[in-house]
Chains A and B, each alone.
Chain A
Amino acid sequence: MQKKRKLGRGVALVGAGMSKFGMFKDKDSKDLFAEAFREMIASVDKGFDPSEIDALYLGNFTNDFFVHQGHWGPIISDLIGLNPKPATRTEGACAASALAFREAVFAIASGFYDIVLVGGVEDMSKRTTEEVAEGLALATVPYEGRVGFTFPGVFGALATAYFAKYGATREHLMNITIKSHSNAPLNPKAQFPLSIQDMMNRKIENAKKKGKPMPTWEDEKAFLRDPAANPVVAWPMHLYDCCPISDGAACMLLVGEEIARNFSDDPLYVIGIGQGSGRGLHACDDLTYFEATRHAAKEAYGMSGLKPEDIQFSEVHDCFSIAELIHIEDLGFFEPGEGYKAVAEGLTRRDGPMPINTSGGLKCKGHPVGATGVGQLFEVWKQLRGEAGKRQVPKKDLRIGAAHNLGGTGGTCTFIILERR
């Protein structure tokens, strides 16, 4: 029997900040983290003195490779005046900062610390697309890279297995892209705050300006079917199935539950926190689910005593469209093989019964890999506190939200559930 896991001491979230995500030639990791940190301080309702922070946990994946600088823990803690206090960097590929969050929770739950800053940062856009692809492929399984698999390639292969087993097609994945792009214009921090219709209008506008023949598309799916507008990257993954290359940072303030009200009138509580590890493609029992996500979900549901139907909305790791589809099944929101039908019916739209990726997801909000885990939790923070503005989930009595983060090709997955009391 699986042991029922719980925290030795409750942990609350009392502040959160996130930089704008995008490709910034004139901003580096420190600039981005400073932006997130300033917003985090301002978000603490009752204010606080940053010198009271006991420690920093920081997620980062590729900076060693992309900006030739490693050892980011003490660099970032010095930036915000924390040194000589401890700073610890976590690496779990694209789940790096979700691991930082988890370690910070454990540090407080153990009673060792009371006030911990957790964050993530990534600076990816100073390299060519080929270099970024090569860098990210460091997180595939060695056997995969050796036969030519890229990141999008692995997810493309999972898509063909899913299609073959359940009868879904590329058209179903387009529903996910269209949905993410419909949320993004409502998120002022998104890298691509544009709907697919906006993208179409922009291309037509450009053609007009250049005196080229004006493209015509019947609808959004016709645009996504057009190989000139949406070229293949790793079939069946096309450009609009893939998240962009991004820079960004995010951070949060975690404190012991019993002191949370000293900081905030409206703290959130960490009630479920799961993590799992996955194997390479060749060693999976089945290519239509992520065992690491299922394990993370089992841990988080077990700890919280909640069921999938208790989660009112979730951010879900959509580095590729197929990833969102598989994960909404792995997290139990829909039965295996039913996710694509649910998306087609609009059930995962912002105004649907199970809103997924109200932020626009990694696809549109951006995916600065090391910042993504905390960036997803930032969206949950905004939604649960009713501060998400135009993209606020229209449900009444929003109390339980969650974020799912994946690293590599499923090697590390986390699922974190937050509650507003």
Chain B
Amino acid sequence: MEERTFSDISYEQYLNEEKLMGSKCKKCKALFVPPRSICVKCYSSDMEWVEMKGEARLAAFTCISVGPPFMIAEGYDRKHPYCSGVVELEEGARVDARIEGVDANKPEDIKVGMPLKVKFLHRGEGDNLKTYLAFLPV
């Protein structure tokens, strides 16, 4: 795989390319998603990129009625809440993500532990392309 710096910028570039990438410490095998350039387990900087399969389980979630300006711009409000969550990847690491394909007006039906699959949400184009990491129920 090509050499990109183990940074948040690279993480986002990979998301634009529909890849969920993390860094793995070559010395102690610790996995970090988003990537870290310094291993916080053994302090090594010898890292390699690894691609996640995109299979996960919901670890925690919330259905937000009062969102930040960029979510309001997408049409979310008190009547149309959205779901954000923490998901545990099959590989073991956890990531923050938007949870799509669920009814955020019925949070009782969303269950911690439910199986999920990755989805890349693209917004904008060209230099303005931004990709949000999202997961859908399987």
Q: Give A residues with C-beta under 8 Å from B.
A: 129-130, 133-134, 137, 142-150, 152-154, 156-161, 163-164, 231-237, 280-284, 287
Cα distance A161–B112 when bound, in Å?
7
Closest Cβ–Cβ distance, residue A91 to chain B (whole Å): 21
Whether a CB of chain A sits under 8 angstroms from the CB of B96 is yes
Q: Is the CB of B66 within 8 A of A233?
A: yes
Nearest-CB residue, chain B, relative to A158: B60
| B contact residues around A284 at 8 Å (CB) | 94
Q: Is the CB of B62 within 8 A of A280?
A: no
Cα distance A155–B112 when bound, in Å?
15
Nearest-CB residue, chain B, relative to A149: B84
Question: Within the complex, which residue of B60, B68, B86, B93 is in contact with A148, where a contact is CB–CB below 8 Å?
Answer: B68
Q: Give B residues with C-beta under 8 Å from A.
A: 8, 33-34, 59-69, 71-72, 78, 81-82, 84-86, 93-98, 104, 107, 112-113, 132-134
Known contacts A145-B68, A164-B112, A282-B86: A157-B61 contact under CB 8 Å: yes
Closest Cβ–Cβ distance, residue A348 to chain B (whole Å): 24
Question: Within the complex, which residue of A133, A134, A143, A157 is in contact with B60, where a contact is CB–CB below 8 Å?
Answer: A157
Q: Is the CB of A281 within 8 A of B96?
A: yes
Q: Is the CB of B61 within 8 A of A133?
A: no
Q: Is the CB of A156 within 8 A of B62?
A: yes
Q: Is the CB of A235 within 8 A of B107?
A: yes
Q: Is the CB of B97 within 8 A of A150?
A: no
| A contact residues around B95 at 8 Å (CB) | 143, 282
Closest Cβ–Cβ distance, residue B80 to chain A (whole Å): 13
| A-B contact list, 16 entries, CB within 8 Å | A133-B68, A143-B34, A144-B96, A146-B132, A147-B132, A148-B71, A156-B62, A156-B64, A157-B60, A157-B84, A157-B85, A160-B112, A234-B64, A235-B107, A282-B34, A282-B96
Q: Is the CB of B62 within 8 A of A160?
A: yes
Closest Cβ–Cβ distance, residue B92 to chain A (whole Å): 11
Nearest-CB residue, chain A, relative to B106: A235
Known contacts A157-B85, A164-B113: A133-B66 contact under CB 8 Å: yes
Closest Cβ–Cβ distance, residue A62 to chain B (whole Å): 15
Cα distance A236–B95 when bound, in Å?
21
Known contacts A233-B66, A280-B96: A148-B8 contact under CB 8 Å: no
